Amino acid sequence: MKPPTEEEFREIAEMFYKKWRFPNCLGSIDGKHIRIVSPKWSGSMFLNYKKYFSIVLQAVCHPDCKFTFIEVGAFGKQSDGGTFRMSILYDKMVKVMLHIPEDDFLPGTAVEAPFVFIGDEAYPLLRHLMKSFARRNLDCSNEKFNKVLSRTRKTVECAFGITAAKWRLLNKPIETKVETAELIVKAVCVLHNVIVDKENVLNNVAYRDVLPGVQPSRRNNAAPAEAIEIRNLFKRFFNE
């Protein structure tokens, strides 16, 4: 998958705001455990917290439930946060190699904020990665932020669900070498994107036939203090 350009990132962020009302969002990130047969001599490296053997598919998702970034092959025993820290995506993010746009104003305000990916509590809080507040002792404003983030982040969970429903081999152990399983998962993700694009084209054609003329809408790693302040910017935006 070709990494998005800066212009494509801006288009993705615009679509996220139109569909889910989360501004400056570049994608939702999560990990999915893919069942495999235990490799010989691997010990517990592939044994995950659910007590089956797996490799991890880490994916960043588009607002239309397409995959924009995928990485496959992390050990099942790793957490989502640990997998992210070891990923190429994280490495490129901290080295400012992702073509992330410069900070921009939050809609209808004079407040500038970075463009961010969004994840659940398992992920670190960084300049370009937002996560929800811890669930303990939430006040109303923190809870509102969590609800908006959670609603938007579900695009990646939906993408995983759609993919597993279409390719049932993802719901049982893949009986191949680990390297072959990784190639299978990558191929499935690419095919998923092709199908989403194809279905969108067909839906758009049908929509135009019914209603002629109507078009469907379509840096460096930060210190924790900076990332906390950025999250507070988004929180104030959602509450005001």
> Which range has the worst mean pLDDT, 30-44, 117-131, 205-219, 220-234?
205-219
117, 128 in Cβ contact below 8 A? yes
Confidence at residue 221, expressed as pLDDT on a 0 to 100 scale: 44
Mean pLDDT of the chain: 88
What pLDDT does residue 204 have?
46
Residue % of the chain over a pLDDT of 90? 77
Does residue 37 or residue 219 have the better pLDDT? 37
Summarised one tens digit per residue, pLDDT across range 64-74 is 999 999 999 99
Structural Rg of the chain based on CA atoms = 19
* Residue-level pLDDT at 220: 41
In the predicted model, is pLDDT for residue 223 greater than 80? no
Q: How many CB atoms lie within 10 A of CB 230?
A: 22
Cβ-count burial 39-78 (b if 16+ within 10 Å, e if not): eeeeeeebbbeeeebbbbbbbbbbbbbbbbbbbbbbbbbb
Please report how the helices 140-166 and 178-210 are oriented relative to each other, as an axis angle in degrees rounded to 10.
Answer: 100
Q: Say yes or no to pLDDT of 171 above 80.
A: yes
pLDDT at 10 (0 to 100): 97
Check residue 224 and give its pLDDT: 77
pTM of the model: 0.85
Beta-bridged to residue 70, according to DSSP, are: 59
Residue extents of the structural domains in the chain: 6-239
Q: Which tens digits make up the pLDDT trace of 20-38?
A: 999 999 999 999 999 999 8
